[in-house]
Structure 1
Amino acid sequence: MILDREMVILVVDDFEPMRKVTATQLRMLGLGKVVFAANGGEALRIIENQQVDMVLSDWNMPVMNGLELLKLLRTSERYWNMPFIMITAEAERGRVREAIMAGVSDLLVKPYTPERLSGSIEKALDWKARKRTPESVFPVVKASDKGTFETSAAAVAMLGGRKADKPVILIVDDLPDNLQLLARLFKADYRVRVAQTGLKALEICHSDTPPDLVLLDVMMPEMDGFEVARRMREHPNSEMTPIIFVTAMDQPESRQKGMTLGAVDYVTKPIEPEQLTLRVRNFLRYVELHKQLQADFDLMLEMERIKEDVEHMTRHDIKGPLAGIIGLLHGLQKDGAFNARQIAQLKLVENTAMQVIDMVNLSSEIFKIEHDSFVLNPCAVDLQEVLGSVVELARATYEGKRLSIVFDTDVPLNERLPAASGDRLLCYSIFQNLVKNACEAAPDKGRIVIMLSEEESLQVAITNPGAVPLEIRNRFFDKFVSHGKPSGTGLGTYSAKLLTEAQNGHIAFSVDDAQNTTSVTVRLPRWQAS
């Protein structure tokens, strides 16, 4: 597909460097018309006041997150077909499914390459091309004629994904007049098939595409309806197919026999069209719900396969080269050929690359740890260096809060603690998340202390003002537990615990209510040189 160079793309992200990176990648693809928003609320105002052809939005943002923006757009007929790419590090099925249900065009998992971004844009445009009417995609959307937003509970809870085909009804009767009457009754709402003999009915029911419901006459030559029902129950393709007997046999024993053969209803002739239509509609409502549920499960499986492809890409195509770049940057800083300003710039590039690695770790290594497929290849890790990088980045990131971030060790000056045994990139992820949590929890001008010490193992204690609320203390390290942070995912402490234990370490926290502080302590084994 050839991308339209005149297309206007709105990039929504609260992290300015990420907005610039995305804009650069878009321009590399020849898409120069890019506008920016720092959150969903700002994006909404831009969309309503100028031309926007596609939205690339981060998921977690303050004011209004990406999912809330998506849902609002999909409640307006004016924007129901606007391609919307969600950029996210989310891997949890429930949240991914929620985005799919809300009508996302594509999901772009961080980190991603320009080629992957190009493919995502093409998929989103293809998504738009496949849609025909708002009702075919979002049947519960309500919007005014002017296209303004009318948010309702139904609209926000709308269902996306695959729309099930019309249910199939098989009508079985040996009399052509009866077949025509019943077919005419249901053909507007359902797909109708007919059979004049029991053998033909069984051929259809035993096929790979059996009907969703059978309206079955009893009194037929060669093979009556009861025998058809009995044989249906003996075949795996039709044993669960619901049957409604439609017959002139109104004796109680005939009704009982029909119900014994597994019929869901028994209607006597002459039929009352409205009553029969209502019975069929009520029953097929359950059939449609079941088919939609299966479609949702199929879609989740498809997305899981996509996630596995992304995991493979990040592990092999991104993580390896980035690790090499970080190693080169680290070596250049020790080269002695650069001045202080150049070394500071190299350090900034290294920290940025480490942030990308951190996202990779959270989306790939945690997945492997959760599925018992992670294998640790330990090496010597200089925790002083890792923590120094984390602290330097935190000071720059939270400069606006005027925090005092203190990093100290219990060794004399000009001495270094022994190395830890683990994985340097995983260690960076642990402490980057914990220090980030501490900075977010601390009030403005708060003091955060990171203490590195040596006991039987190497210990890092991170203390910040602000006691963990009582209601979440027993779930502090659980997945998706967050408090007081609108943009929080609840993955920081959970991932820190997983990554610590994967390196044979231990993590714990303590609260001092009198001092109103929280401390998280990580212990990692020492490196034993062979």
Structure 2
Amino acid sequence: MTTSEQKHYPVSTQILIVDRFETMRKVIAHQLASLGWDHVLMAENDKKAQHLLQTQKVDLIISGLPGAELLESVRMSDKLKHLAFLMITAEIDRTQIVKCINAGVSDLIVKPYTSQRLLKGIQNASAWCNRHKTPSVITTANIPSSHILDTEISSTYTPNILIVDDIPANLHLLSEIFKDEYKVRVAKDGAKALSMCRSDTPPDLVLLDVMMPDMDGFEVARRMRDHPSSENIPIIFVTAINTDEAQLKGLQLGAVDFINKPVDPVIVKPRVANFLRYVRLHKQLQADYDGMLEAAQLREDVEQITSHDFKTPLDTIITLVHAMLGGENDSLDHKQALQQIEQCALQVLDKVNLSSELYNVEMGNYTLVKRSVSIEEILKKIMSFCLIEFSTKSLNIVLKSAHSDSSNYAMTEVLGDQGLCYTIFQHLIKNACEAAPPKTPIMISVSNGNPVNITIRNMGAVPQKIRSRFFDKYITFGKADGEGLGTYAAKRLVEVQSGNIGVSVSDTPTPHGVTSVIVTLPRFTALESTTL
């Protein structure tokens, strides 16, 4: 990262680093400083961390402690529960990982990790704050995308080996043995080896000579264990020393194997291959844990959508029932009231169904059963409800179809799922009503082509700052109780039905401007009627 990039990072962000080992705490602090964060606090255990959290301003917690005790105590505290919490772990027990996810961890970083992965974790922490309506001081908007790594392990990934030896002939011999199967790098001394192991592209396995000048292999191994990029890299000592004492010392430093010189390719190749299989499985942990965390967040997102959308219909049902039972309003049309109650109850039921459907869509497990859907019938139902809900704004909601003036008028049918279509247009029309100034029109038009275009047009321009992210998660503006998930859900449900959605914004006419959301869905034709 260049100096010009670093200066954009907020100097006021205070980060608490918690780890049992002082060396690890210092290394993490150094990584943070290289990324632009200089204000850090350090603690070696839960007790000291809790003291600092109670007495100091903390914006982000980075913990290398095993278990979820500190995380759970933070989430149980009214004062601290809003804090983003990164957990750095070498844990392979998924039961413990699930426990951390359920406790509310913001992100999980698997050892060994690089400063780039730490940077991505901080970006995820900022996103976590946004999801939970917590003002985030962890500004990451200026992080170049080139600094954020994808953690998924490609099926074509080729492991890389670092060979360390001070004798060129030995480097050449081992390189020739492995060059056809792996990416091979070499270092002729311990200092160079450490530099490569602590970089943002560390090797997957180190073949390390013991007897080297200046810094022997044992010292290289010891120093590797003091850095998060290298502490979990497997080491195989390749040495002419075959005493029990030397092997014990190597094992105590974390060596996984010893290979005696002179090297026999028939023996060394399968032994290296065995350890690299383990390395690949361990690397996949980061992608697996990311997937587990994403699944938990998706489930939470769906719950937020449904809980948010339950409130209005349930309030309406309660209000109407009270009016009917109390007889306080003599002009109340009971038939109309019952129809409204039915419509509100259907909305609640629709949201219950949506909770599982949207989750399955996001996880790639949703199976669409295509049917003929009368799109105008759905639009009329939603319009009638919105006219009641937004009656105080005196909006004029108008539906116009391309063939509605024809004597042979017939409802426009699209190919999709009725429940999904209802949810899509309920979100979009409700958004338009919320955004529209009082006493202005909302025009809903349905085309007569194939595909079918449904356009929802309202006065009031989407603010410039969110236009490019209109369909992203957690994007909301001017709504205190908004979850920022409605347009995102609409987009995903349109796409699963082989449709498209877009937004067009104009700042004219003044003073309000105009926003148009255009949904495109496949038309139901006679051909589909014979195949369904």
State TM-score, norm by structure 1. 0.40
